[in-house]
Amino acid sequence: MTPRILDKLADLVSDKEPIPNKFTKSMGKLIKEAREDIGLNQKELAELIYRRQTTISDIENGKIEPSAGTLALLSAALEKPISFFYPPFPTKVLPEEKFTPLEHELLIIFRKIAGEHLQKMAVNQLRVISDFDPTDMLWDTVDITISEKERDAQIAEFIEKKRKKPKA
């Protein structure tokens, strides 16, 4: 990384600019967005991460910059990677990471999705897919097959009883 890039990053996160600043306000906005996405209020989030509600409010309003520990707790509670909470403007000065061809294709397709609400839907779908375990589906199929066989046997038994029953 070139010294010029480091200088730009240092300026963005330095103590030269008093808080609240562009960085802390942007970070707070992203934290608030993630909190609202999962339907938590500030008090509920505060309880989850062992902080006070006023601390969450101050973070969301950019009045304080969360510590690394608080970011880790936010990441876990809000189910987002820590990098989600960093505003995009500082990272624009960083060189692009090396992606696999599939990751690169996924990013290109994602950027073509019209509207943030559809992008969020895509992220949620990918989250579901990443949590998917095909063996669960196999066990569900086995359970259904067993239930159907048991039901078929009960129907056959019922029909057999009806056939044997003398007519009045």
Summarize pLDDT for 30-49 with one digit per residue, the tens: 999 999 999 999 999 999 99
Question: What is the percentage of the chain residues whose pLDDT exceeds 90?
Answer: 35
**Range with the largest mean pLDDT of 1-5, 101-105, 106-110:** 106-110
* Residues 57/67, Cβ–Cβ less than 8 Å: no
Q: What is the CA radius of gyration of the chain?
A: 27
pLDDT at 86: 85
* Residues 86/27, Cβ–Cβ less than 8 Å: yes
Q: What whole-number distance in Å separates Cα of residue 16 and Cα of residue 156?
A: 83
Q: Which residues contact 44 (CB under 8 A, 6 or more apart)?
A: none
Whether the pLDDT of residue 27 is over 90: the answer is: yes
Quickly tell me which residue has 């973070």 as its tokens: 59
Question: What is the percentage of the chain residues whose pLDDT exceeds 70?
Answer: 81
Quickly tell me which residue has 């600043």 as its tokens: 21
- Please give the mean pLDDT across all residues of the chain: 83
Q: Model-level pTM greater than 0.85?
A: no
Identify which has the larger pLDDT, 91 or 160. Answer: 160
Identify which has the larger pLDDT, 78 or 139. Answer: 78
Summarize pLDDT for 108-161 with one digit per residue, the tens: 888 889 888 998 899 889 888 888 877 777 777 777 888 888 888 888 888 888
